[in-house]
Structure 1
């Protein structure tokens, strides 16, 4: 089984000759990892966690190239149909659904979006880039209203090759949900709060995964986003959960999830050290 991160929350999972693309997004001008839509031309299955612009905007362009089926809840499905999704290729899902893609089993779980805190909002509004890159800022403000999530966030429980993965699209868990513990890999979005380690650690405590792969930590839609250092999180995890493996992926480079545990432990790009 292989996982490839393409920036933002864009993940491709490969297993047994099948591929699933999650939350593809072509980053805005100035983004840290810009992969054009034709990067995903071979994808036939696209799963969406929620309807925000950085998870949904690029899907119509990718679908036109690939002809992929799209799996998402009602709100993002309605948005896609309004903004260019092809009819007949939209598969509406709801928590509790179980979907088979070859030998890959995907179970839909309820999730929750991270709450943006006032410190982060103040930082964004005080950046000179917010006004120097006004075109991007105005575009994102407009798209935020046109691409709502309306509380429809899902988490995907993925089972393949004897492994169980949990893929989150935002850093939040729903209250009262009995989530599976001990996943072989938790894919955790690391963006959206001023103190991300404090937001991420309770999630890890509750889910207790064997390994954690961070995504969404790059500067994908400047000037609103920024590149997030993972150093503090890795350090705190080493202190609190030394047996948990932390993977900081390199964009576009596949990671063999079925490799030996030692080859996955603390895979950290030099820029984050």
Structure 2
């Protein structure tokens, strides 16, 4: 059976490969193939192609070391950097383009590369006031920045974007948000280290086009009322959520058990693009999805791997 997942998108072999599609296929007739393709750029970076249009979510290719996965955790004074040569390589070879860039929150592993990508592609960038303040201070063209608060339902040529209020992952024994904070759009001091890129509110996005729809959360938490009634074909879900009540089952139940549940934000992002290592949450996530929604297909991709829902 054709799953729509490219060969280069398969992660691992043997038992690992068996985790790519988990559960029992839906018994009803297969829907018509969509013209949407999703490609994973690592972390929560996604490229969504709907026909001739391209939407990027949290594209972060640079992936510098921070110590995130060491016992001490990320060093908040790690300097920010952007690997322009790496980004240029993918742009110049046609691997990467963008009509819209969607930012879920302001942390370095979601936002740091966006200003340069916006400048190179001319894409419109959507984010909160804090996200736009950070990006403008990092050199993003201000006329390409579009503010959102959640609740926007926007239609463009060949695709639509629905912006949803959301929540960042709650971590540690106190269920705290790392690098919290906000800043006004008028502020222009340049962020220098990773703790300068504050969360600034979290958004989720429902992108529809090419006969399919995909929902990305950006963190392992959500506002259930915002998601009620949505029926995406694909859910991009991060592992974690230990402090969130009934995280995976409640999410999948609220969304009507999507046909595809793709893992996102599960890799060790201290390693460069192309070196895929599970940061520890992939298998628990697969088990949780399989138990809560056995008819959903659980998708795991390698870096730059793609699939068509």
> Do Structure 1 and Structure 2 share a fold, with TM-score over 0.5?
yes
Structure-2 residue corresponding to 1:153: 202
Aligned residues: 233
Structure 2 CA distance for aligned equivalents of residues 175 and 205 of structure 1: 10
Counterpart in the other structure of 1:78: 133
Q: Which has the higher contact order (CA 8 A, sep 6+)?
A: 2
Q: CA deviation at 1:119?
A: 9.4
Following superposition, the deviation at residue 199 of structure 1 comes to 3.6
Tell me the equivalent position of 1:143.
194
**Residue 165 of structure 1 corresponds to which residue in structure 2?**
214
Deviations 1:103-162 (A, max 9, x none): 1111111111110123999xxxxxxxxxxxxxxxxxx99412x11123x21111122233
1:56 aligns with 2:107: no
> What is the CA–CA distance in structure 2 between the aligned matches of 1:46 and 1:240, rounded to whole Å?
31
1:204 to 238, 244, 252: 252
Give TM-score, length-normalised by structure 1: 0.74
Greater percentage in helix: 1
Cα separation, partners in 2 of 1:168 and 1:240, compared to 1, 3 Å: closer
Displacement of 1:234: 1.9
Which of residues 37, 43, 47 is equivalent to 1:12? 47
1:234–1:189 distance in 2 versus 1, CA, 3 Å: closer
Where does the alignment leave 5 or more consecutive residues of structure 2 unmatched?
1-35, 68-82, 177-190, 272-276
In structure 2, the residue matched to 1:230 is: 282
1:10-58, Cα deviation, whole Å (9 max, x unpaired): 1000011100111011211499xx9932224532321111111111111
Contact 2:239-2:284 within 8 A present in 1 as well: no
> Does residue 190 in structure 1 map to residue 239 in structure 2?
yes
Partners of 1:255 and 1:178 in 2: how far apart?
24
Relative to 1, partners in 2 of residues 1:178 and 1:7: Cα closer, same or farther, differing over 3 Å? Answer: closer
Q: Secondary structure at the match of 1:13?
A: strand
Instruction: Note if contact 1:16-1:103 (Cα within 8 Å) is conserved in structure 2.
Output: yes
Return the TM-score normalized by structure 2.
Answer: 0.66
**Residue aligning to 2:101:** 46
1:28-47 matches, within 5 Å, as 28-29=64-65, 36-38=86-88, 39-40=90-91, 42-47=97-102
CA distance in 2, matches of 1:17, 1:218: 29
Contact 1:120 1:194 (C-alpha < 8 Å) held by counterparts: no
